[in-house]
Amino acid sequence: MRPKSRGRISLTGANPNDPLKIHANFLEHPDDFRAMVQCVELCRAIGNSSALAPFVKREVLPGNVKRSALENFIRNAAVTYWHQVCTAKMGRDEMSVVDANLKVYGIEHLRIADGSIMPRVTTGNTMAPCVMIGERAGEIIKAAHKL
């Protein structure tokens, strides 16, 4: 739930309608890949447990495969859950895009108030943190404009 691999989004041209180049970079970090192998192995252990034996006929996916075939299965099966966050992270390091007041570094009068500002992926659904970011953005803007 906390991948170390990082992808990239790049512009392909100066026209705002030009497509983006997206490099997801799933499983690039060795720790992420090891975690996925352990996850599949844990699921297999649970599915093959004696408690579930009366309900299980066979393992369908990935099937009874060994290490290299299992690794190939994981590489081919890895997909996103479409909870892209952390693309404009909040912080103070060279990779940060916004400050603690949601202001974009180097651009006046622009704030970002969505999941992209999260510095790390949450371990649960991203909806609740996005609501909190929006609520906090409202408080920050109200205070800035003395509303």
Q: What residues act catalytically?
A: 83
Question: In angstroms, what CA-CA distances link 57 with 36, 60, 114?
Answer: 24, 9, 45
Residue in this structure with the two tokens 């090891």, named with its chain if needed: 34
Question: In angstroms, what CA-CA distances link 84 with 3, 110, 128, 130, 147?
Answer: 12, 21, 14, 12, 32
Distance CA 44, CA 59 (A): 8
